């Protein structure tokens, strides 16, 4: 399964890229608005893996080219820009039977901490679905995983991630993919209508890390 990580040059993109590269054999392409930046970051991730004896080719491409060839497109892009990015992909006519996966969460910070601020449609995952062509499947996943913890391959994850999608087969595909990451247990949280509940956990875990000195990169594990 070809995985494209758009905005894979950023924090969660790096974490997901190195984990998928280390733990699976799926071909991975890093996408960026700037092709040269994507190629440079992909090569940096390859070097990080090579230092650990992991020999992986990671491609870099402009976002549209990365998405065009992918089966699964992870939108590792800030929440306020993910809708426009999806529309640009649709305008470039590169979206057809891919599964789009959104890890994005709308949040606003103040002196107290981070607060959940979903778009008016309800959640970023639903916003992605609304702005994608009708035939393109959308799922939400990876919202509650801290980028630094993912990117640190010396850390055992031991975390859950919650997957939402309207189409059961699509949800199953993303659950299986996420479960391939060592230390991640992917759990279904139902259809996209439940995405807001999933996304809203992200500011909670970040606030817990902020107010508890001995906790960093907090995640969730459901028992
Ligand atoms: N960081 C975390 O721990 C974490 C955890 C879970 C979920 N998330 C979610 O994952 C998403 C990405 O988070 P992040 O922390 O990785 O963000 P980030 O590092 O700030 O940005 C990720 C990438 O987004 C691209 N980007 C920036 N502005 C853009 C625009 N106007 N249009 C299109 N692309 C743009 C950039 O790539 P190029 O410049 O290369 O195009 C950037 O490298 C967010 O929605 C966040 O809510 C983050």
Q: CATH code at 19?
A: 3.40.50.720
Q: Report the first-to-last Cα separation within the chain, whole angstroms.
A: 31
Query: Which atom of ligand 1 is least distant from the CA of 150?
Result: 3
Q: Is residue 222 situated within a structural domain?
A: no
Ligand 1 atom at minimum distance from 79 CA: 45
The mean pLDDT value for 102-109 works out to: 98
Pocket test for ligand 1, best of 4, 5, 6, 7 (most atoms within 8 A of CB): 7
Is position 130 within any domain? yes
Is any ligand 1 atom within 6 A of the Cβ of residue 26?
no
The verdict on residue 24 lying in a domain is yes
The mean per-residue pLDDT over the stretch 106-133 comes to: 98
Atom number of ligand 1 nearest to Cα 11? 16
pLDDT of residue 172: 98
**pLDDT, position 205:** 97
Interstrand relation of 28-32 and 107-109 (parallel, antiparallel or unpaired): unpaired
Quote the ligand 1 centre to 223 CA distance (angstroms).
30
pLDDT-above-90 percentage for the chain: 99
Mean pLDDT for the stretch of residues 113-138: 97
Tell me what pLDDT residue 14 has. Answer: 98
Give me the pLDDT at residue 71, please: 98
Q: Is residue 96 part of a domain?
A: yes
Residue that the structure tokens 């010396």 belong to: 154
In terms of residue numbers, what domain contains 123?
Answer: 3-211
- d(CA 142, CA 76) in angstroms, rounded, equals 10
Q: How confident is the model at residue 83 (pLDDT cuts 50, 70, 90)?
A: very high
C-alpha 144 to ligand 1 mean position (Å): 14
Q: What is the pLDDT of residue 195?
A: 98
Q: How far apart are CA 32 and CA 9, in angstroms?
A: 7
pLDDT at residue 139, rounded to an integer? 98
Q: Does the C-beta of 128 come closer than 6 Å to ligand 1?
A: no
Query: Percent of the chain beyond pLDDT 70?
Result: 100
In a domain, 169, yes or no: yes
Domain count, the chain: 1
Please report whether residue 173 resides in a domain.
yes
């Amino acid at each position: 399964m070809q995985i494209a990580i758009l905005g894979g040059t950023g924090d969660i993109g790096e974490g997901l890229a190195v984990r998928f590269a280390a733990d699976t054999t799926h071909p991975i392409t890093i996408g960026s608005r700037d092709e040269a930046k994507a190629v440079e970051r992909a090569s940096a991730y390859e070097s990080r893996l090579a230092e650990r004896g992991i020999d992986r080719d990671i491609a870099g491409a402009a976002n549209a080219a990365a998405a065009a060839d992918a089966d699964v497109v992870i939108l590792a892009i800030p929440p306020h820009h993910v809708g426009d990015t999806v529309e640009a992909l649709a305008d470039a006519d590169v979206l057809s039977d891919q599964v789009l996966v959104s890890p994005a969460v709308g949040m606003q910070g103040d002196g107290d901490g981070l607060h959940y601020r979903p778009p008016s449609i309800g959640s970023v995952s639903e916003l992605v679905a609304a702005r994608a062509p009708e035939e393109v499947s959308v799922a939400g996943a990876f919202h509650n995983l801290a980028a630094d913890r993912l990117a640190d391959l010396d850390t055992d994850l031991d975390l859950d991630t919650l997957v939402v999608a309207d189409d059961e087969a699509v949800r199953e595909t993303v659950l299986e993919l996420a479960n391939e990451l060592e230390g991640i247990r992917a759990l279904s949280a139902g259809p996209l209508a439940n995405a807001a509940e999933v996304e809203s956990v992200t500011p909670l875990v970040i606030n817990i890390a902020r107010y508890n000195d001995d906790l960093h990169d907090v995640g969730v594990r459901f028992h």
